[in-house]
Amino acid sequence: MKLLQNIFGTKEKTEAVAVKADETPLCVDSKSKEISDIPDAWRFRQILANLDLLTRPTVVGNNFIELFKTIPEVFWPIDFIAKRISEAHFDLKRVKDDSIVWCNRLGADTILKQPNPIMTWREIVYQHFVYKLATGNAFLRAAMPENITAEATKFQWCSNYWSLPAHLIEVKPMDYSYGVPMFGVAKIDELIKGYTLNLGPYSGLTIPYWQIWHDRDGIPELLKGVGYMKASSRLLSVKKPIANLIAVYEARNVIYLKRGALGFIVAQKEDTTGTVALEPDEKKELQEQVTTRYGVGEGQSPWAVTDIPVNFVRTNLSITELQPFDETLEDAIKIASVFGIPSVLVPRKDQSTFSNQDAAEKSVYTSVIIPACKRFCEALTTFLGLEQKGLYIDCDFSDVACLQSGLKEGEEVKKLVNERCLSQFKNGLISINAWRAQIHEDALEGEIFDKVKFEMTPEEIAKVDSVIKAQTSPIQINTGQSGGGKPGEYKDPKQDNN
């Protein structure tokens, strides 16, 4: 009895334990710690886990991975972003000319083909961003032999890349009696000793810092202690809406499953003294009739008839009266907003009424998904050491449907800019390199390309005009009505002068 009172005595204790779920050790080495040295909160959590109370996130803690797995309103925005990033086209390119590297003898493209024996590249990317968005941190390990040092080029020595479970990773600071030399002149090996994976048989295993790329989503904790060098999750700011969602789901579940009494049958019999209670045999007979004879099942009647004067008093609320769907939508919008997703994209029953969903999805791509993917590629390129060999990883979203209109608009704008610049060059207002700069092209080498037209010699003008004319002259299609050609043949207009 005392144990149950300690467990269920106050809500504050239970909530305090749930909130600190990620801050307590996941296992205890019996050889190094006595039971008296184990924190009370951790022992209390173990008792709850044994009673299967931590598998239901009724009290919102900091285990956001569990919330991602169990709450659809938390799963949806994270999956929305992570899935679209993982479906991008990733290419290995050369720095000097941005050309795609199709065959690489150095093995730099291994990570894009088969990062590890059991996972594809898209799975690794999806997992990476799920951990980053849910927990605020993602850890990618380039697994290498122990004799490989930090100065080695990783992509040449690694053939196995793993996205580690971020909620089970602990960053170990260097052991200094006077503290970590933070906010001063220090190298990374003076700040981080390594990374510990607290997972079953791997608990206590320290991974060298140079094998880990720590990708943070926010401000890291720079002081020694719990969460050292790790960022906080965005979901911390919406813990109350998540708690409201859990309460709504539980309330709806209770109503659907009809747990507890829906109401009371009150006797209406009266005598000279007033209302008379039902006799035990009358209660039994009435309950038997209601549960066996009446209902919507086979052989049951939807109408109940009794000779006992009774009245029914309802004690619970209907789903309509609770209005849980409005509450759920409002909380879902708040959760999606912390990830930069507009409310019109949040799934709802009246989704078909919105006509601006394509524009909203396009804005998510341009402001959230593409920038995040670009930063991912840049940081991964640096981590693997690809730039040392003149290579880099890039991403491409050109085949995304909602972005096609943007590409078309961009080409139309570029065409108009070209036409304007052509007119300005012919009138001697700008040079060819100034023209190329306005259409975001690299400058050409040579003195002639930096001159305006009235600064050029007649020979230079003739040369430039011939190039411009060749580039702007349209290719005509012979219709067969003149020139003696066959219908449908391509004909160069220059041939008319021969």
Under 8 Å between Cβ of 248 and 349: no
Q: Is residue 410 part of a domain?
A: no
The number of distinct structural domains making up the chain is 4
Indicate whether 391 and 458 sit together in one domain.
no
Question: Tokens 């019996």 map to which residue?
Answer: 30
Indicate whether 51 and 68 sit together in one domain.
no
Pairs from 269-274 (Cβ < 8 Å, separation ≥ 24)? 269/308, 269/309
> Which token pair is 169?
């990773």
Indicate whether 132 and 182 sit together in one domain.
yes
Q: Of 9, 31, 55, which closes a domain? A: 55
Give the residue from 246, 250, 261 showing the smallest Cα distance to 314.
Answer: 261
Indicate whether 72 and 13 sit together in one domain.
no
Q: At CA 450, angle to CA 449 and CA 451, rounded to 5?
A: 95
Q: Is residue 421 part of a domain?
A: no
Indicate whether 42 and 63 sit together in one domain.
no
Indicate whether 81 and 34 sit together in one domain.
no
Tens place of pLDDT per residue across the chain (498 aa): 444 444 444 444 433 333 344 443 434 344 444 434 445 555 545 544 544 444 444 456 668 999 999 899 999 999 999 999 999 999 999 898 888 887 777 788 889 989 999 999 999 999 999 999 999 999 999 999 888 888 888 998 998 999 999 999 999 888 766 666 778 888 888 888 899 988 777 677 889 999 999 999 989 988 877 788 999 999 999 998 998 888 877 777 766 665 555 667 777 777 777 777 777 887 787 777 777 777 666 777 777 777 777 777 776 655 555 555 677 888 899 999 999 999 889 887 766 556 678 888 889 999 999 999 999 999 999 999 999 999 999 999 988 887 876 666 777 777 888 888 888 888 888 888 888 888 777 777 788 888 888 888 888 888 888 777 766 555 444 444 444 444 444 444 444 444
pTM for the complete prediction? 0.65
Q: Is residue 105 part of a domain?
A: yes
* Enclosing domain of residue 279: 271-295+306-313
Under 8 Å between Cβ of 88 and 397: yes
CA distance 119 to 69: 20
Indicate whether 141 and 177 sit together in one domain.
yes
Indicate whether 360 and 456 sit together in one domain.
no
> Which token pair is 41?
């909160």
CA distance 48 to 18: 10
Q: Is residue 404 part of a domain?
A: no
Q: Is residue 419 part of a domain?
A: no
Indicate whether 101 and 188 sit together in one domain.
yes
